[in-house]
Structure 1
Amino acid sequence: MSEESSKRDYRDTVFLPKTDFPMKAGLPQKEPGILARWEDDGVYKALRKARAGREKFVLHDGPPYANGNIHIGHALNKVLKDAVVRTQSLLGRDAPYVPGWDCHGLPIEWKVEEKYKKKKRNKDEVPVREFRRECREYAAEWVGVQREQFKRLGITGEWDKPYLTMAPAAEAGIVAELLKFAESGQLYRGAKPVMWSPVEKTALAEAEVEYEDITSTQIDVAFEIVESPIEELVGAHAVIWTTTPWTIPVNQALAYGPDLSYDVVEWNGKRMLVAFGCQAESMKRWGYEPTTGEGGLVGSIKGSDLAGTICRHPMHHLGGFFAEPRPLLAGDFVTTDSGTGLVHMAPDHGEDDFDLCKAHGINPKFVVDADGRYREDWEWLPRTDARNGSVINPKFNAPDGPICSDLREAGALLSASADYEHSYPHSWRSKAKVIYRCTPQWFVPMDKPSVTPAEAGVSESSAESGEIPASAGMTLRDVALSEIDKTRFVPAKGKNRIGSMVEGRPDWVLSRQRAWGVPITLFVDRKTGEYLVDPAVNQRIVEAIMADGVDAWSEENAQALLGASYKLEDYEMIGDILDVWFDSGSTHAFVLESDNWPDLQSPADLYLEGSDQHRGWFQSSLLESCATRGHAPYKSVLTHGFTMAADGRKMSKSLGNTVDPLKVMEEYGADIIRLWALSVDYTEDHRIGPEILKGVADQYRKLRNTFRYMLGALGGFDENERVDVSEMPELERYMLSLLGELDAKLRQCIHDYDFNAYTRSLVDFMNEDLSAFFFDIRKDRLYCDAPGSVERRAYRTVLDTLFHALIRYAAPVLVFTSEEVWGTRYPDAGSVHMLELEPIPAADANSDRWEKLRDLRERVMEAIEPLRREKTIRSGLEAEVTVPASAVPEGFSAEDLATLFITGEVTLGDADEVSVTNSPDAKCGRCWRLLPEVEEDGDLCNRCESVVAEMDASA
């Protein structure tokens, strides 16, 4: 070579990747523009048209409450749903998505009441129509806000036509479902203890309650025994222990365990009856000190022998109710785990109490009003008494509070201390403690067989047509449990969770004592107490609400709704509203089965919500559908855990550890939230925080740069350049085989809804198999081989195949970035989200052989690294490497190994270790490889000389 050629600058002869795709993402600024383009182009509608007639997949959206900005839990939930819809669409299915909102109930009503309180306005003095109008306006405002926030996350769907439970058509649909219960005899009115919020003045469902640890007053109270088949018990005292002193004023009996043993112990000159095994702890609470020699065992009694024993209430001197006898009743629920082994029974305020007392003809007294205070006419602690605070007020129940003071004065209080720590139910909205309160409510029975075709007077053919569910004659509990067994749960443990809840749940309490909700549209006969079942009346009710919403259920419309066949004075018009879980539990009826959304179908393929919805929406939807249709409204149920702070603690504004998705989008962009949401193991509780988000952003940058490299490397690629798989080098075939394995894995992940594995598999492939391996090895071929060489064309062919596969895989995760990448390469090809997965070309490759080689490559790189740190060499190209011959798979030459290791010469040695020395060869002035054929630095190797000569000739 001439001296002139050795000094030439060859940079302009290297084929470096070129692209306009920026390395800096700028997602917060870029994403809104992409969103606007999707809306302008009608991408969602175009996708529905393109998938019309295909196999359908319906994810039914569980409605969030319309009462505030979205939080990180909303973001996770909606991104998961969006990933389901988009991946199903990738498979070629027709996967519509109709979002919805829950607009009734306490979350909205509570907010409107708060506005009233600030204006010193009493909600009860506001006309109900005006109050409902304000609730409706409040909900509508937040629907609009949340809709834009969800769209900003890149969630695709029918945003112009969502479902709202407050829409008149939805309210009419809910009423129609309620009347189906009535017509099939699956409603009853009864007085039972239900969880009640004195602050919100309404009954609550189990799903509206959360449990918090509190410290309560615990007391021991002595009830004097006045009658007993066991004569020596007369004059003794049966001792009960409770952590709810406020229930003592409505005590009506005591319960004992018939299979337990009881001891009579002497204390303070009195004989006390307690269960065997409880006496030591009980007497310790009373202040008994064994060293004093006072007290001791007097006798023992079988529990079953206590039948017929009667006590009197400590406040019997007040007369009336308190002078009535308090019988001892056998209760299977009585244990010796805590307390005295004797349980005081207040049927107004406990489920076991109510059931046991009812079985013995003892009825509740309804003495605690809606606000948690005793009735004004009650003999003890009337509400006019200045001492009578709310029953949830700690001062009212305190050891020196009015109840304990009166019991102490009566000589019945053996102990009282405000130190008992336990879990207690609270309203999840007001955060106030709830109570069990017996009030007349409307219930759906869990264990009453539903109407059979014969009982309904319907022919078997009509029953088969669906007018009467196939489950007719079964109990709702049995039908629901049967349907749970048929349903797929992800994760699988959800089946046992909801199954155990349904198996043990009480009757469904439907009624609420509020204003903002769907009314219980029933007329009750004042003489018989039976509700009216008349299809004509029911039809008028549904039509009226369809036209005017819930305000149609009013006194002024009552006679018109009843019609000429009935007189209003003969009927009570129910004023309660429905549990909002009934609203949302009916969405399958007025959304999935509605002509308003013809793309949908029932039952849904999937319901997807947080794990708390096993006792909420999943369950109310299941019960509603099983009662009215005889089957579940869903085929599969997916649950996700809760998002915790980075340290694993629950997020709390007071702790300052919340993560606002709106602020995250302002700083990083929505694709970062999506990448985080689809990378975590959502089936368990998971974490987020500033450092976690930084890590996700770094991961995103690597993915973005991988796409950027491919865009640059594929510049100018066309079909004439494509090489058949059979002509490709083995490395390219190996990469296609890896892509095929990835494709199969991701398809399985879609089936399993395993987005954690989906995203991580995609990320690992792009980072490890491509960027750190394939691209690293083949960049020399891309930069320096002749454009027409088969090897370079094969590499670009595989790059093209990779690009088309990876952009599709990434689209459900990085919805904005994938659109940007696709548009950069194909600016006129429409949205990336219209695409479907394509088959991967089959390629034979000995993966085991390549895995062995990759392991050796890692060893070589590890051996080179210390020399790089010491600056003995600047890159692997300057290294001459000796590797164990035994570690080299058959068929790889020394030249192949140098190419794959990106080093100078490679020698096969006998030693087991990899050794590295400086290469003595000169460096090619174009490809920078150190090769024996290069005479001195700056000269060209044989390959580069050939390529440059061809370029010079064509210049």
Structure 2
Amino acid sequence: MCADTPTANQYKDTLNLPKTDFPMRAGLPKREPEWLARWEEMGIYDRLREKAKAETRPAFTLHDGPPYANGNLHIGHALNKILKDMVVRSQQMMGRDARYIPGWDCHGLPIEWKIEEKYRAKGRDKDEIPVIDFRQECRTFAEGWVDVQREEFKRLGVTGNWEKPYLTMDFHAERVIAEEFMKFLMTGTLYQGSKPVMWSPVEKTALAEAEVEYHDRQTDAIWVKFPITKARVGESPVDEPDDHMGAGAQLLAEQLEESAVIIWTTTPWTIPQNRAICFGEGISYGLYEITATPEECWASVGDTYIMADALAEAALTQARVEGFTRRRDVTAGELSRVTCAHPFAGAEGAGGEWDFDVPLLAGDHVTDDAGTGFVHTAPSHGDDDYAIGVKHGLPMTYNVLDDSSYRADLPFFGGECILKPNGKPGGANKAVIAKLVELDRLLARQRITISDAHSWRSKAPVIRLNRPQWFAAIDKPVGDGNDTYGETIRQRALTSIDQLVTWTPQTGRNRLYSMIEARPDWVLSRQRAWGVPLTCFVKKGAQPADPDYLLRDPAVNARIVEAFENEGADSWYAEGAKARFLGNEHDPEAYEQVFDILDVWFDSGSTHAFVLRDREDGSEDGLADLYLEGTDQHRGWFHSSMLQACGTMGRAPYRGVLTHGFTLDAKGNKMSKSVGNTVAPEKVVQQYGADILRLWVAQSDYTVDLRIGDEILKNVADSYRRLRNTMRYLLGALSAFEEADRVAPEQMPEMERVILHMMADLDERVRAGYAAYDFQGVFQSVFHFATVTLSAQYFDIRKDALYCDKPDSLRRRAALTVMDAIFHRLTAWLAPILVFTCEEVWLERFPGPDSSIHLQDFPAPRPDWRHPEAVGRWEVIRGVRRVVTGGLELERQAKTIGASLEAAPTVHVPAHVAGMIDPELFADTCIVSQLTVSTDPVPEGAFTLPDVPGVGMVFARAEGEKCQRCWKILPDVGTHAHPGTCARCNDALDA
């Protein structure tokens, strides 16, 4: 090279290099709040509503399942709200009017419990506080947390009508909740019954299944003797009438009457309430005689016991029996004619409390998996027990009071508690076991660990306890005329699940269907103060079964809802409320006012009525397109909403249900504050930014449990950086793009037509993915396209043309036209996920006070971009390119070359492939200076790839000088007017 030949630096300013101020470092924690403030100032949510109205867009309503207003957000909240936001934003950008009204659950025990804790800390008794004052404290507490959580949700980039959310404690909401309850009252599905419910002695209220969680706890398992007092004969078709068989049967009966039935239970405190024993008709039972015992044993030689054969040995071993023999079978027919005495029958000082027969009854719920094959049955303390009691007319018992203490006058046990006020075990189990030992009715005991129900608020155990409660009958014809999907609540719910609702994933259908198919009547009442009361009156002196027990008067109901609308539910507790609501038509002295409050799940289950139906920005038909919550809501909000709506409007309130999993730590463990493995959304946002948290959601399979931790978030941040790099390159390349540069698709080189086809195909997949709520699929498709197809291939190939071609070259203008299309689609496709970053990218190119990516839709589909024949050729050419680049990489590793432009390979391809390849264009595609295409057979030693048959690459160095402008090595460099350039660069400099 001559001394006066220009260097590359002297030609640098002649290149069309990318220009952008877009930073590679995002600085999201600092910058995201600026965009939030900008959106609020723009009123962007309202602008979208105005745009939708002007364009008469079809509505899409995601109804927000209300979080509870009593604490800072956890990572599960973040997952849920981000998923909802992705749904709303993507539906909006696909042409819908996607409304989102955030809401809060404000009533119920969690808030009441917090206020009570405050009282307890000050030594005050909640019951001494006027109820309206107490309720006002609860309201104030909830208001404070609504404000806190609202700001935390907004910080995650969640869009919605934050200025006008719905609150279950708003006066109109309380009015509608009461109104919806009174529909149950008026149609006769409301009734007062006495059956076992989940009861929290610590909180002194009934709980729904959704309000309990299961934890391990220790308890005493006991084996108890129930002496047989009678074994009837001659009362079954199996008994033969002849004297011989009759005498034999009598002998067998006498043998049984000398025996005892052995039951096993893990709730000794329920023994005083026993009314029957259940057995399984398909279980094999035997009569076992004790032949040897140690000195210390609750069994004696000669005792005979009846137990299931599969369990007898284990039970007797636990009883420390040293020898026993099985004397004979005991059939189901014989058991059905057996009567036992209660273990406490005839006890001195019992006053005859337990002097009644204990029948043996067949029960489908009895198994021989554990215990003895006999189930002690206390109808007041279990669902199966209650069902057996109803079937056979067993009496209910009321020995246990609200605080879990035995009634004071119960012999032996009066005043003993099952649980102490702090939730720890009381003395009831110990007292019952001691009495059984004293009366020689205990065979064995064992300390075991069981999984048992606990209140998820107080964390204390709960018990099954019979209490008068208010129920919604789910198998009684509703009689409201909405019978299209069934006459009963259960029928309507099951039909809705199968015919009216789309489930994502489909397993959600199975879970809810099985729950509703098997569930009992809905317990509506709670014995608390903060909530919407059961707005009904009962006639004094009447029984629940009497037709006039409940007052059903539309005029009374109308006065109640009017008061609630104007004054809220506190009006129910105001002085003179009974007379006010009953009016002149009813004597206040003849009725009692019900002060139980509604199950908080009835509150949230009713939200469809005062949000979707009543609000101007609700839903035109009162139905939601989507409910979206975690898997626990199959027994919670999905469930209660279904039951409530089926009872009041005859069908499900939603057309679609999406379920996500729980959040776990990086090792897959459940998060716990005590363990110290929680991940707070606030800290993630402070360290990484909300977009990284949102990207974590998008990258995850939300249909299963999701893991999160430092390493996981670092990997997410790495994916983010790669995407950001792609967007930064686009911005730089498009800095000089003008509308006059645009090229029609049919005029473009084949590579650009291939990219357009890929985008048309990707557009279909993105829209289908967002429509199916497959955010992981959308992100993976877009991410691969952006970082592999574009950054690692297309951008790399087209850099030379973009930088070095003259400004008006077709190839350069076509590439810029395609990049413009890429820019609009990538920013739009990713906007529902990376809400802050896509706004930053958009504003970098299209600044302005009214500019926002979130006011855009996905660009319209372009069928004219489809070029399947070009894609077919490109797939072949790309395979050949892989052989070339693979061979060059080996040369680079061997340090034969430093850059691929130093190479001039010969590529051997089949003849039909050679016809697809233009050597000059293919050299650019492979980023080499020169390239030769040969149809000769692949020579020995050529680089090949097993999956690209018939193709080989033979390496050679490029011949000529290095162009100081484009760096290609070509023979003509130095032969043009501009020193040190190739022909292409010489022409560009002259342009």
Instruction: Quote the residue 1:361 is aligned against.
Output: 393
Q: Is the 8 A contact 2:622 2:653 kept in 1?
A: yes
Mapped to 2, the partners of 1:892 and 1:143 lie a distance apart of 65
Deviation at 1:321, TM superposition (A): 1.9
Q: Is the 8 A contact 1:923 1:938 kept in 2?
A: no
Q: Is the 8 A contact 2:694 2:833 kept in 1?
A: yes
Instruction: Quote the residue 1:490 is aligned against.
Output: 504
Q: Does residue 192 of structure 1 match 2:221?
A: no
Aligned with 1:10: secondary structure? helix
Q: 1:852 to 1:117 in 2, by over 3 A?
A: farther
Instruction: State the AA in 2 paired with 1:322.
Output: W
Instruction: Quote the residue 2:438 is aligned against.
Output: 409
Taking the TM superposition and a 5 Å limit, the aligned residue runs for 1:450-469 are: 450-451=478-479, 468-469=481-482
Deviation at 1:694, TM superposition (A): 0.9
Q: Is the 8 A contact 1:382 1:388 kept in 2?
A: no
Instruction: Quote the residue 2:571 is aligned against.
Output: 552
Instruction: Quote the residue 2:4 is aligned against.
Output: 4
Mapped to 2, the partners of 1:70 and 1:557 lie a distance apart of 39
Q: 1:160 to 1:397 in 2, by over 3 A?
A: same
Instruction: Quote the residue 2:538 is aligned against.
Output: 524
Mapped to 2, the partners of 1:689 and 1:811 lie a distance apart of 25
Q: Give unpaired runs (5+ residues) of structure 1.
A: 453-467, 951-955
Instruction: Quote the residue 2:240 is aligned against.
Output: none
Mapped to 1, the partners of 2:494 and 2:285 lie a distance apart of 40
Instruction: State the AA in 2 paired with 1:14.
Output: L
Instruction: State the AA in 1 paired with 2:526.
Output: R
Q: 1:239 to 1:351 in 2, by over 3 A?
A: same
Instruction: Quote the residue 1:897 is aligned against.
Output: 922
Taking the TM superposition and a 5 Å limit, the aligned residue runs for 1:631-646 are: 631-646=651-666
Mapped to 2, the partners of 1:472 and 1:629 lie a distance apart of 10
Instruction: Quote the residue 1:457 is aligned against.
Output: none
> Deviations for 1:320-359, whole angstroms, at most 9, x for unmatched residues?
2222222222222222121111111111111111121233
Instruction: Quote the residue 2:555 is aligned against.
Output: 536
Instruction: State the AA in 1 paired with 2:28.
Output: L
Instruction: State the AA in 1 paired with 2:889.
Output: E
Instruction: Quote the residue 2:859 is aligned against.
Output: 838
In terms of mean alpha carbon deviation, does 105-114 or 434-443 score higher? 105-114
User: Which residue of the other structure, out of 970, 976, 979, is the alignment partner of 1:931?
Assistant: 970
Mapped to 1, the partners of 2:915 and 2:426 lie a distance apart of 85
Q: Is the 8 A contact 2:914 2:933 kept in 1?
A: no
Instruction: Quote the residue 2:331 is aligned against.
Output: 302
Mapped to 2, the partners of 1:44 and 1:387 lie a distance apart of 54
> Deviations for 1:750-799, whole angstroms, at most 9, x for unmatched residues?
22111110111111111111111111110111110000111111111111
In terms of mean alpha carbon deviation, does 308-317 or 814-823 score higher? 308-317
Q: Is the 8 A contact 1:524 1:571 kept in 2?
A: yes
Q: Give unpaired runs (5+ residues) of structure 2.
A: 233-252, 291-299, 544-548, 945-951
Deviation at 1:483, TM superposition (A): 0.6
Q: Is the 8 A contact 1:58 1:600 kept in 2?
A: no
Deviation at 1:233, TM superposition (A): 1.1
Q: 1:658 to 1:915 in 2, by over 3 A?
A: farther
> Deviations for 1:223-281, whole angstroms, at most 9, x for unmatched residues?
11112212221121110011111111211221122343421111232110112322222
Mapped to 2, the partners of 1:148 and 1:195 lie a distance apart of 36
Instruction: State the AA in 1 paired with 2:496.
Output: E
Percent identity reads: 49
Taking the TM superposition and a 5 Å limit, the aligned residue runs for 1:69-80 are: 69-80=72-83
Aligned with 2:118: secondary structure? helix
Instruction: State the AA in 2 paired with 1:631.
Output: R
Deviation at 1:396, TM superposition (A): 3.9
User: Which residue of the other structure, out of 271, 280, 304, is the alignment partner of 2:313?
Assistant: 280
Structure 2-normalised TM-score? 0.91
Mapped to 2, the partners of 1:113 and 1:853 lie a distance apart of 74
Instruction: Quote the residue 1:662 is aligned against.
Output: 682
Mapped to 1, the partners of 2:957 and 2:816 lie a distance apart of 33
In terms of mean alpha carbon deviation, does 852-861 or 578-587 score higher? 852-861
Deviation at 1:206, TM superposition (A): 1.0
User: Which residue of the other structure, out of 512, 525, 531, is the alignment partner of 2:526?
Assistant: 512
Mapped to 1, the partners of 2:77 and 2:426 lie a distance apart of 39
Q: Is the 8 A contact 2:155 2:690 kept in 1?
A: yes
Aligned with 1:927: secondary structure? coil
Mapped to 1, the partners of 2:2 and 2:840 lie a distance apart of 48
Q: Does residue 254 of structure 1 match 2:277?
A: yes
Taking the TM superposition and a 5 Å limit, the aligned residue runs for 1:216-227 are: 216-227=219-230
Deviation at 1:388, TM superposition (A): 8.5
Deviation at 1:525, TM superposition (A): 0.7
> Deviations for 1:473-531, whole angstroms, at most 9, x for unmatched residues?
71211111001012110111111111001100110000011111110011001132311
The 4+ residue runs of structure 1 with deviation greater than 6 A are: none
Mapped to 2, the partners of 1:98 and 1:938 lie a distance apart of 68
Instruction: State the AA in 1 paired with 2:483.
Output: A
Aligned with 1:446: secondary structure? coil
Mapped to 2, the partners of 1:305 and 1:397 lie a distance apart of 34
Instruction: State the AA in 2 paired with 1:321.
Output: E
Aligned with 1:295: secondary structure? strand
Mapped to 2, the partners of 1:472 and 1:808 lie a distance apart of 41
Q: 1:711 to 1:601 in 2, by over 3 A?
A: farther
Instruction: Quote the residue 2:719 is aligned against.
Output: 699
Instruction: Quote the residue 1:478 is aligned against.
Output: 491
Instruction: Quote the residue 2:246 is aligned against.
Output: none
Aligned with 2:24: secondary structure? coil
Instruction: State the AA in 1 paired with 2:508.
Output: G
In terms of mean alpha carbon deviation, does 834-843 or 477-486 score higher? 834-843
Deviation at 1:859, TM superposition (A): 3.6
Mapped to 2, the partners of 1:176 and 1:89 lie a distance apart of 34
Aligned with 2:389: secondary structure? helix
Q: 1:387 to 1:790 in 2, by over 3 A?
A: closer
> Deviations for 1:71-125, whole angstroms, at most 9, x for unmatched residues?
1111111111111111111111111110000001112112222222222222222
Mapped to 1, the partners of 2:45 and 2:752 lie a distance apart of 37
Instruction: Quote the residue 1:462 is aligned against.
Output: none
Instruction: State the AA in 1 paired with 2:540.
Output: R
Instruction: State the AA in 2 paired with 1:231.
Output: E
Instruction: Quote the residue 2:254 is aligned against.
Output: 231
Deviation at 1:867, TM superposition (A): 3.7
Mapped to 2, the partners of 1:573 and 1:671 lie a distance apart of 53
Instruction: State the AA in 1 paired with 2:183.
Output: K
Aligned with 1:238: secondary structure? strand
Instruction: State the AA in 2 paired with 1:566.
Output: H
Instruction: Quote the residue 2:143 is aligned against.
Output: 140
Deviation at 1:304, TM superposition (A): 2.2
Aligned with 2:365: secondary structure? coil
Q: Does residue 422 of structure 1 match 2:450?
A: yes
Q: Is the 8 A contact 1:736 1:840 kept in 2?
A: no
Mapped to 1, the partners of 2:621 and 2:46 lie a distance apart of 18
Instruction: Quote the residue 2:33 is aligned against.
Output: 32
Instruction: Quote the residue 2:249 is aligned against.
Output: none
Deviation at 1:395, TM superposition (A): 6.6
Deviation at 1:935, TM superposition (A): 5.2
Deviation at 1:5, TM superposition (A): 3.9
Deviation at 1:381, TM superposition (A): 1.4
Q: Is the 8 A contact 1:381 1:387 kept in 2?
A: no
Mapped to 2, the partners of 1:393 and 1:38 lie a distance apart of 52
Mapped to 1, the partners of 2:422 and 2:399 lie a distance apart of 12
Q: 1:209 to 1:895 in 2, by over 3 A?
A: same
Structure 1-normalised TM-score? 0.94
Q: 1:124 to 1:882 in 2, by over 3 A?
A: farther
Mapped to 2, the partners of 1:117 and 1:774 lie a distance apart of 69
Mapped to 2, the partners of 1:834 and 1:532 lie a distance apart of 54
Taking the TM superposition and a 5 Å limit, the aligned residue runs for 1:672-691 are: 672-691=692-711
Instruction: State the AA in 2 paired with 1:143.
Output: V
Q: Is the 8 A contact 2:877 2:917 kept in 1?
A: no
Q: 1:343 to 1:63 in 2, by over 3 A?
A: same
> Deviations for 1:436-487, whole angstroms, at most 9, x for unmatched residues?
11100000111111216xxxxxxxxxxxxxxx32349712111110010121
Aligned-pair Cα RMSD in Å: 2.1
Q: 1:46 to 1:245 in 2, by over 3 A?
A: same
Instruction: State the AA in 2 paired with 1:38.
Output: W
Q: Is the 8 A contact 1:194 1:437 kept in 2?
A: yes
Mapped to 2, the partners of 1:14 and 1:75 lie a distance apart of 47
